[in-house]
Amino acid sequence: MILDDVFGLARKVAPRGTKGGRPSRRSGTERIPAQVTQPLIHPAVAQPLRPARARPLTGRAAIPQDVLCLQPTEALLCPSASVLVTAVLRRVGASRPLPYVVVLTLDQAPDIDDDGCEALVELCYSLRASGMRLYVATGSTTVLDRLQATGAVNRMLAGTAHLRLRTALLAAFEDLPGPAVTTRDVITDLENRLTPLPI
């Protein structure tokens, strides 16, 4: 709780873009493997999803639009893992306006296999190719350890996988354009926006 206050105060004092702050997503510091050289277009969508960057933020009212929080309702095991990417991209494509970031929490999916790990890697780059960013909250050390053991954590963009939902939400909110002011009310609002994702 004290740590949340420190992070919130630090963001108020040093908004994004100031010296010493974390680089924004437009700084080009994200680690992208060399083999990803062109945009990936998933069969679930006819064309890459491009969120409009000219839309101004309007404080807490913009949170439901800018951050899409999804919660798969099944474990990411074959065959459900194979439809994860399609299900997420369809939900993203149905959002108007399109979100800047997608947070996927796996607390209702307590197990994951190799297919599930591959699906998360594919989803990460499918969203990235469309100008969006994925954050994953594993919800358990078992799932996070599995992602690390299969190499999925190293293959996704740096900072994608988090153990706790709150940490993933903080990272997602930090990635939004505009002043990085995070309060308990903002995080609580984000947590309350979780949408079940049947797969």
* Contact call for residues 77 and 109 (beta carbons, < 8 A): no
Once rounded to an integer, what is the mean pLDDT over residues 97-107?
92
Tell me what pLDDT residue 179 has. Answer: 62
Q: Is the pLDDT confidence value at 133 over 90?
A: yes
Tell me what pLDDT residue 86 has. Answer: 94
Alpha-carbon Rg for the chain in angstroms:
16
Confidence of residue 48 (pLDDT cuts 50, 70, 90): low
Contacts of 21 (CB under 8 A, 6+ apart): 14, 15, 180
Once rounded to an integer, what is the mean pLDDT over residues 150-162?
95
Domain 2-11+65-197 falls under CATH 1.10.1840.10: no
In the chain, what are the domain boundaries?
A: 2-11+65-197
Place of tokens 């903080």: 170
Please report, rounded to a whole number, the percentage of residues in the chain having pLDDT higher than 90: 42
Tell me what pLDDT residue 181 has. Answer: 60
What average pLDDT is seen over the chain? 76
Tell me what pLDDT residue 43 has. Answer: 53
Once rounded to an integer, what is the mean pLDDT over residues 92-110?
91
What is the token pair recorded at 88?
């997420």
Q: Is the pLDDT confidence value at 16 over 70?
A: no
Tell me what pLDDT residue 135 has. Answer: 97
Q: Is the pLDDT confidence value at 102 over 90?
A: yes
Cα separation, 72 vs 77, in Å, equals 12
